[in-house]
Amino acid sequence: MSHRIYTTSVASVYRHYVAKAERKGRSKAEVDQIIRWLTGFSQAALEAHLAAGTDFQTFFGEAGLNPARTLITGVVCGVRVEEVADPLMREIRYLDKLIDELARGKAMEKILRA
């Protein structure tokens, strides 16, 4: 079964990530840093994907995913991220969890599992 989020453009959700962060006194630059850490994309590559309207399936398919992402644990949207069976959905939930941590005021070093 394919979820609607897989064919949703990253850019359409990205603006919500930035808005959520900014409402809590965090910055777009921090959102970008989190996405770059998770995906391995450069800032230019991230911006190109956003401008192109790349969907989540393609975005994560082309990403050089950070091996440390498996250290991301906890609940987002009522789901424990480490227990999500579908690999693509797990990557999307990892990103959601990182943005939640940013909005909750967690230090970047902790968010990036440094």
Mean pLDDT by 10 residues, the chain (114 residues): 90 98 98 98 98 98 97 93 95 97 97 92
> Class for domain 4-111, per CATH?
mainly alpha
Rg (CA), the chain: 13
pLDDT score for 42: 98
Q: Record the pTM.
A: 0.95
Asked whether 39 and 59 are in contact (CB, 8 A), the reply is: yes
